[in-house]
Amino acid sequence: MSITGEEPLSAEIIVVTSGKGGVGKTTTSASLATGLAMAGKKVAVIDFDVGLRNLDLIMGCERRVVYDFVNVVHGEATIKQALIKDKRHDNLFVLAASQTRDKDALTQEGVEKVLDGLSKEGFDYIVCDSPAGIEKGAHLAMYFADHAVVVVNPEVSSVRDSDRILGLLSSKTRRAERGEGPITQHLLLTRYNPARVALGEMLSVKDVEEILGILVVGVIPESENVLAASNAGVPVILDENSNAGQAYRDTVARILGEDRPLRFTEVAKKGFLQRVFGG
């Protein structure tokens, strides 16, 4: 408690990370941030992928980027100037990645300054969209996190690389260094195709949970709607008719503590008409 008797403001920091690239981190960051905002939280989502701006495209705000994360770190813009308000939700903001080719543009102190600044602005959640791998950018994205969403695809190489990330999360974060207790780890299985699992071409939910030793917080099916949504600049969670969008809604609800059964993990049974007429 502070002297005024109020709790100091503090945002919950969630990193969306993975071992391998191209597994669905940015897709997940956009939908998670949007889902939290839909639940009434004040949310900022930050693109940590220096040199490879992508989140602003998926959020549909690329034409409004004037200042970016690195500008704020270097003091060339204030956080308020750099935050882009989402066009659909007043309580959702995007901080775009820099296009600079200087991979060292982000520093630990710089990132800390931006996260503290966001906390002071009264954000409830800060979602950090991590670049791939275990290099500096990915370390910086996870270092200050309270929670992690580890995105994994149902294939051996992706699962193996996630194992390494889970290890880093429990040792190389500020919480770990300060002995503040472990960060919450959520495993999110994306691009899941039950038909291919049934054919033995992909790992099942159970396989992945057994190999990594943690339960999934959600399973997002492989869906054409994801690319269509990205191309339209609309996070897929807003596509209520798509299975992927519904699965993201379930996932956000679970992260907020709700109990919901998994869906879309079995091969869809065809209806009577489909069986008779095909399709």
Count of beta carbons in the 10 Å neighbourhood of residue 103: 12
* Cβ distance to ligand ADP smaller for residue 119 or 190: 190
Minimum distance between the CB of residue 219 and ligand ADP, rounded to whole angstroms?
Answer: 10
When asked if residue 22 is in the footprint of ligand ADP (CB under 6 A), the reply is yes
When asked if residue 25 is in the footprint of Mg ion (CB under 5 A), the reply is yes
Q: What one-character DSSP code corresponds to residue 201?
A: S
Binding region for Mg ion (CB under 5 A) out of 18-26, 91-99, 138-146, 267-275: 18-26
When asked if residue 191 is in the footprint of ligand ADP (CB under 6 A), the reply is yes
Minimum distance between the CB of residue 66 and ligand ADP, rounded to whole angstroms?
Answer: 23
Q: How far apart are CA 50 and CA 79, in angstroms?
A: 17
Residue 66 in contact with residue 99, Cβ under 8 Å? Answer: no
Query: Binder to ligand ADP among 82, 114, 244, 252 (CB under 6 A)?
Result: 244
Query: Binder to Mg ion among 26, 71, 173, 223 (CB under 5 A)?
Result: 26
State how beta strands 84-85 and 92-95 pair: antiparallel
Amino acid at 140: L
Q: How far apart are CA 58 and CA 136, in angstroms?
A: 24
Among all chains, which residue has been given the structure tokens 């989502």?
45
Query: Binder to ligand ADP among 11, 14, 26, 216 (CB under 6 A)?
Result: 26
Q: How far apart are CA 74 and CA 105, in angstroms?
A: 8
- Binding positions for ATP are 20-27
DSSP per position, 107-149: -HHHHHHHHHHHHHTT-SEEEEEPPSSSSHHHHHHHHT-SEEE
Count of beta carbons in the 10 Å neighbourhood of residue 198: 12
Minimum distance between the CB of residue 93 and ligand ADP, rounded to whole angstroms?
Answer: 19
Minimum distance between the CB of residue 161 and ligand ADP, rounded to whole angstroms?
Answer: 11
Binding region for ligand ADP (CB under 6 A) out of 136-144, 170-178, 220-228, 256-264: 220-228
Minimum distance between the CB of residue 26 and Mg ion, rounded to whole angstroms?
Answer: 3
Residue 173 in contact with residue 58, Cβ under 8 Å? Answer: no
- Binding positions are 20-27
Q: How far apart are CA 55 and CA 245, in angstroms?
A: 17
Residue 110 near which of Mg ion, ligand ADP, none (CB within 5-8 Å, type-dependent): none
Query: Binder to ligand ADP among 17, 119, 223, 251 (CB under 6 A)?
Result: 223
Count of beta carbons in the 10 Å neighbourhood of residue 265: 17
When asked if residue 34 is in the footprint of Mg ion (CB under 5 A), the reply is no
* Cβ distance to ligand ADP smaller for residue 65 or 79: 65
Binding region for ligand ADP (CB under 6 A) out of 23-31, 108-116, 160-168, 177-185: 23-31
Residue 176's alpha-carbon distances to 142, 145, 172, 180, 181, in angstroms, are 11, 10, 6, 6, 6
SS3 20: coil
Q: Which of residues 124-143 bind ligand ADP (CB under 6 A)?
A: 132
When asked if residue 159 is in the footprint of ligand ADP (CB under 6 A), the reply is no
By CB under 5 A, name the binding residues for Mg ion.
25-26
Site residues, ligand ADP (CB under 6 A): 18, 21-27, 54, 132, 190-191, 220, 222-223, 226-227, 230, 244
